[in-house]
Structure 1
Amino acid sequence: EALRKAQLAMLRGEVVIADGELKGSGERRVVPLPPALENIENYNLSHPYYWAGFTMVGSPW
């Protein structure tokens, strides 16, 4: 469920990389990027390239 919500937030443009931080909506709105990624320009993560490749495998119980 958490993965699906994260993917939908990215698809809707609610999660972006800006000013060296991962910014989104929800309980934890700003996550600082590690030093190696701080120089990344602003990114809109709504393109499927950024979120479509993730899947969950396994039994929920």
Structure 2
Amino acid sequence: MNVKAAAPGLQVPKEDNPRAYITDAEAVDVPRSAYYLRVLGDGDLVEVDEAAVKTNAKKGDDDGQR
């Protein structure tokens, strides 16, 4: 599932590396584990539609930076 932090500036530790964080800047693909489901339930993460992630990635390809 793809998730992002629910609020700007919020950093949510990753399950497998608590010194790496999920932020609101970019969606991250994570497993549907008990840890991430709990954090989603707490409201610190929001699930992002996979189609929106792919659309944003395509837009990033066309920004002229190569």
Taking structure 2 as the reference length, what is the TM-score of the superposition? Answer: 0.27
Taking structure 1 as the reference length, what is the TM-score of the superposition? Answer: 0.27
